[in-house]
């Protein structure tokens, strides 16, 4: 089992959003579909991963998701945690868009690498 944190899930999701914005600038006009897909793709599906996330972030287990439980909709612990993970990632992606929409910056260099990341040879 790999250790996953909400921070790493959000970091991955934001990186994917940056890539989509770079590849298709029209996503800026209506990012809701891309945000939904990216958030959905980054929710762990294994119970052990979901429970591990909740162990490190108890709010995931005790907050009532706005959209109800995930997966089959039954109010099980893992379905509630998954729904909260989705909503948390979705909110972070929406915040990212709001914080950057005025500038609509290009986040990737010509090689498709994130400009914010420091290359190993620069360390």
Q: Is residue 82 part of a domain?
A: yes
Q: What are 103's two structure tokens?
A: 């500038």
Considering the domain boundaries, does residue 75 fall inside one? yes
Give one DSSP letter per residue of 1-68, joined into a string.
-----HHHHHHHHHHHHHHHHHH-GGGGT-THHHHHHHHHHTS--SHHHHHHHHHH-THHHHSPPTT-
pLDDT digits (tens, 9 = 90+) for 37-68: 999 999 999 999 999 999 999 999 999 999 99
Per the structure, the complete domain to which residue 81 belongs is given by 6-101
For residue 17, give the CATH number of its domain.
1.20.120
Is the entire prediction scored with pTM above 0.75? Answer: yes
Number of domains forming the structure of the chain: 1
Q: Tell me whether residue 24 is in a domain.
A: yes
């Amino acid at each position: 089992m790999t250790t996953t944190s909400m921070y790493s899930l959000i970091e991955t999701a934001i990186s994917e959003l940056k890539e989509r914005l770079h590849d298709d600038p029209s996503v800026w006009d209506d990012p809701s579909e891309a945000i939904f897909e990216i958030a959905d793709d980054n929710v762990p599906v294994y119970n052990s991963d979901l429970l591990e996330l909740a162990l490190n972030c108890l709010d995931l287990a005790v907050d009532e998701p706005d959209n109800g439980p995930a997966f089959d909709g039954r109010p099980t612990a893992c379905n509630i945690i998954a729904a909260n993970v989705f909503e948390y990632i979705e909110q972070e992606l929406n915040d990212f868009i709001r914080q950057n929409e005025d500038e609509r910056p290009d986040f990737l260099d010509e090689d498709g690498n994130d400009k914010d990341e420091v290359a190993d040879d620069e360390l």
